[in-house]
């Protein structure tokens, strides 16, 4: 079997809350392979956000090992982690997290700036990414001139622009209505079909069932890890 992209062994994470130490993850083992569509499900306080932060290299574990594409991550420096976030990981957040004063094109270019791409090349790749999510006609719009669904598409384009190994979506439909939410899920479906690896974090069963595999987490431990029998495949909508 090929090396997993993500390999967690005995991962624990502690936080200091005042004088107390809270253990958010209690020893998690997890493997995720290339071109998987995994949903990580759990209620609020289960540790799923912590798990996502660790997968996304925004944080390092207290104990355990994390191999990303075969490389050991838990001992990496801040700069090395930033490098991985730039090159290998594409984040999609519930609150979109776009720069409010920059237009769509500039928002999508952001990761390319930090990888040292020249202006001409940046523009080309950003336009390409925006086209692939169906926003070619909105490149000069600011976030406040875009609808919720459009903003999330910009965020997805930004996540794609550096050709990442995984796309990490944290409650991507949380701030959207049902219809728009479905549109976004279909965009993710398109990306999955194109060969991308997607990790979806959600507390909603309905959304989780769009994936091919559901990992349930509760109280800092993995409860179950199953393939989805009847997937919800949305109609491919791109407008």
Partner 1 sequence: MVALRFLVELRESILAAFRALRANLLRTILTTLGIVVGVTAVISIISLIQGLDRTFRSEIASLGTNVVYVNKYSWVSMGDFWKYRNRKNITLKQARELAEQVTLPAAASSSVSTSSTVKWRERTARSVSIEGHSPEGRIVHGLDPFTGRFFTDVEANERRQVVVLGYGLWSDLFEGRDALGHRIRIGGHAFTVIGILPERGSIFGMSQDDQAIIPLDTVLKLFGTRRSIGVALLASSADAIPLVEDEALGIMRRIRKVPPGEEDDFALNRQQVLVDLFRSLTIGLFAVLVGVASLSLLVGGIGIMNIMLVSVTERTREIGIRKSVGAKRRDIMWQFLVESVVVSGVGGVIGVAAGLGIALVVSAATPLPAAAPVWAVLLGLTFSTSVGLFFGLYPAAKAAGLDPIVALRYE
Chain residues in the site for partner 1 (CB under 8 A) = 53, 56, 58-59, 78-79, 82-83, 85-87, 91, 93, 97-101, 110-111, 113-119, 158, 162
- β-strands 166-170, 89-92: how paired? parallel
Q: What is the smallest separation between the CB atom of 169 and partner 1, expressed in angstroms?
A: 13
Nearer to partner 1, 108 or 127 (CB): 108
DSSP code for 143: G
Cβ at position 224, least distance to partner 1 in Å: 27
Residue 12: what are its φ and ψ, rounded to 5°? -125, 150
The angle formed by the CA atoms of residues 80, 70 and 78, to the nearest 5 degrees, is: 15
* Cβ neighbours for 128, distance < 8 A, ≥ 6 positions apart: none
Q: Strand pairing of 71-72 and 89-92?
A: unpaired
Q: Report, in Å, the least distance between residue 216 CB and partner 1.
A: 23
CB of 207 to partner 1, least distance (A): 21
CB 155 within 8 A of CB 111: no
- Rounded CA separation 239/223 (Å): 38
Cβ at position 170, least distance to partner 1 in Å: 10
Q: Which is nearer to partner 1, 119 or 194 (CB)?
A: 119
Spatial separation of the C-alpha atoms in residues 205 and 234, rounded to whole Å: 15
- Nearer of residues 113 and 194 to partner 1, judged by Cβ: 113
Nearer to partner 1 by Cβ, of 122 and 138: the residue is 122
Q: Which is nearer to partner 1, 60 or 212 (CB)?
A: 60
């Amino acid at each position: 079997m090929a090396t997993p992209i993500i390999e967690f062994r005995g991962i624990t994470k502690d936080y200091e809350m005042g004088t107390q130490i809270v253990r958010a993850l209690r020893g998690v083992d997890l493997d995720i392979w290339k071109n998987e569509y995994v949903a990580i499900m759990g209620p609020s306080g289960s540790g799923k956000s912590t798990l996502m932060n660790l997968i996304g290299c925004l944080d390092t574990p207290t104990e355990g090992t994390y191999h990303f594409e075969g490389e050991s991550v838990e001992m990496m420096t801040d700069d090395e982690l930033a490098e991985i976030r730039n090159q290998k990981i594409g984040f999609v957040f519930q609150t979109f997290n776009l720069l409010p004063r920059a237009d769509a094109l500039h928002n999508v270019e952001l990761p390319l700036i930090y990888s040292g791409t020249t202006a001409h090349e940046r523009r080309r790749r950003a336009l390409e990414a925006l086209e692939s999510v169906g926003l070619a006609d909105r490149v000069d719009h600011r976030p406040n001139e875009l609808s919720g669904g459009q903003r999330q598409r910009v965020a997805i384009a930004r996540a794609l622009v550096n050709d990442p190994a995984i796309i990490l979506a944290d409650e991507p439909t949380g701030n959207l209505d049902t219809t728009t939410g479905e549109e976004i899920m279909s965009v993710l479906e398109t990306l999955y079909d194109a060969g991308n690896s997607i990790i979806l974090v959600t507390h909603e069963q309905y959304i989780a069932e769009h994936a091919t595999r559901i990992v349930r987490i509760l109280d800092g431990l993995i409860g179950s890890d199953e393939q989805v029998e009847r997937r919800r495949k949305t109609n491919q909508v791109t407008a």
